[in-house]
């Protein structure tokens, strides 16, 4: 059921710094109009750490209403406590989520068993399929392949992973976990075709070039690797530029998405990286072949 390209939505703000209802709606519609197989929200692209709890729930409700069950919706859960994550999982289900993606608590340096207990306690109370965001390079905390397999053995509803790792590491995970997980990768779509070769069932990039990534996925599924590689080469320089850092990705990826959706003023919630004239010039050159969403 869960496969394909799931753009993870940016958080757009109005001039007063509040989440912007209309721009969030237009973003959802732009993704669905160009064939997204699902949507994701509340992850790093949604700048969830900058959102107050009420804003998180508001955006979740907006997105759930706008998606309206047309495609599966994945919701990242990043609350720092077991009870907080359980409550947010319930809120996600009420908003129409199809599955949830758990982030580890923001406490680094613990024995792996402590993170397994944390995730297990949340999974026990979840009525939705559960994924783990195993993003050590971005979050600073990750589980071993053996730990992930143990988590699935003890809690079979933990059946999906958001890998956030190079394709060769994903391949090792696929082999060592004996295929018990449906694996998505993120990283903006880096190594996109090799992730499919490694065993990923889909990708969770952001919206700025998801329409091309949808075409890549569909070409791959019908066995046209040459076309998939051609399309991937056309967006690789852009993805490489955006993914030089998370802050660079938020700064320029959000502006490109806004431009393609037909609005040009982006209000950042501080602290945030500010664009430079040279950065905007690079963005324009690397995305010049992309039309409106």
pLDDT digits (tens, 9 = 90+) for 124-147: 999 999 999 997 778 888 899 999
Residue 217 has pLDDT above 90, yes or no: yes
291 domain-assigned: no
In a domain, 272, yes or no: yes
Tell me what pLDDT residue 138 has. Answer: 80
pTM: 0.95
Average pLDDT over residues 224-246: 97
What pLDDT is recorded for position 264? Answer: 84
Please indicate, yes or no, if residue 25 is contained in any of the structural domains: yes
Residue 248 resides in a domain? yes
Write down the pLDDT at residue 16.
93
Q: What is the CATH number of the domain that holds 181?
A: 3.20.20.70
pLDDT value at residue 129: 98
The answer to whether the beta carbons of residues 137 and 108 sit under 8 Å apart is no
Residue 163 pLDDT more than 90? no
**Over 90: is that where the pLDDT of 228 sits?**
yes
Domain membership flag for residue 292: no
Q: What is the pLDDT of residues 43-54, one digit of tens each?
A: 999 999 999 999
Domain coverage including residue 26: 4-286
The answer as to whether 154 is a domain residue is yes
Lookup result for tokens 């037909």:
262
Please state the domain count of the chain.
Answer: 1
Q: What pLDDT score does 140 carry? A: 81
- pLDDT tens-digit map of 97-130: 999 999 999 898 999 999 999 999 999 999 999 9
Please identify which residue in the block is written with the tokens 């976990």: 177
pLDDT at 46: 97
Q: What is the pLDDT of residues 66-94, one digit of tens each?
A: 999 999 999 999 999 999 999 999 999 99
Residue 198 within a domain: yes
Query: What does pLDDT average to over the chain?
Result: 96
Residue 293 lies in a domain: no
């Amino acid at each position: 059921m869960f496969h394909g390209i799931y753009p993870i939505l940016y958080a757009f703000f109005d001039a007063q710094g509040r989440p912007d209802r209309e721009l969030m709606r237009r973003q959802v519609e732009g993704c669905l109009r160009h064939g997204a197989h699902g949507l994701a929200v509340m992850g790093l692209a949604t700048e969830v750490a900058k959102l107050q709890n009420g804003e998180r729930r508001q955006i979740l409700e907006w997105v759930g209403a706008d998606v309206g069950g047309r495609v599966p919706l994945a919701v990242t859960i990043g609350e720092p406590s077991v009870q907080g994550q359980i409550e947010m999982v319930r809120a996600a289900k009420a908003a129409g989520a199809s599955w949830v993606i758990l982030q580890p608590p923001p406490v680094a340096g613990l024995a792996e068993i402590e993170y397994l207990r944390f995730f297990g306690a949340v999974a026990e109370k979840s009525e939705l399929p559960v994924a783990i965001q195993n993003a050590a390079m971005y979050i600073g905390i990750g589980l071993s392949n053996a730990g992930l397999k143990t988590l699935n053995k003890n809690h079979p509803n933990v059946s999906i992973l958001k890998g956030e790792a190079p394709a060769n590491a994903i391949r090792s995970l696929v082999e060592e976990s004996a295929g018990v997980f449906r694996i998505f990768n993120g990283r903006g779509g880096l190594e996109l075709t090799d992730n499919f070769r490694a065993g990923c069932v889909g990708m969770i990039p952001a919206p700025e070039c998801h329409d091309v990534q949808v075409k890549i996925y569909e070409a791959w599924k019908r066995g046209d690797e040459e076309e998939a590689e051609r399309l991937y080469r056309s967006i690789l320089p852009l993805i490489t530029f955006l993914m030089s850092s998370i802050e660079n990705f938020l700064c320029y990826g959000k502006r490109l998405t806004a431009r393609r959706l037909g609005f040009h003023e982006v209000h950042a919630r501080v602290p945030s990286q500010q664009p430079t004239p040279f950065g905007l010039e690079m963005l324009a050159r690397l995305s010049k072949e992309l039309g409106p969403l």
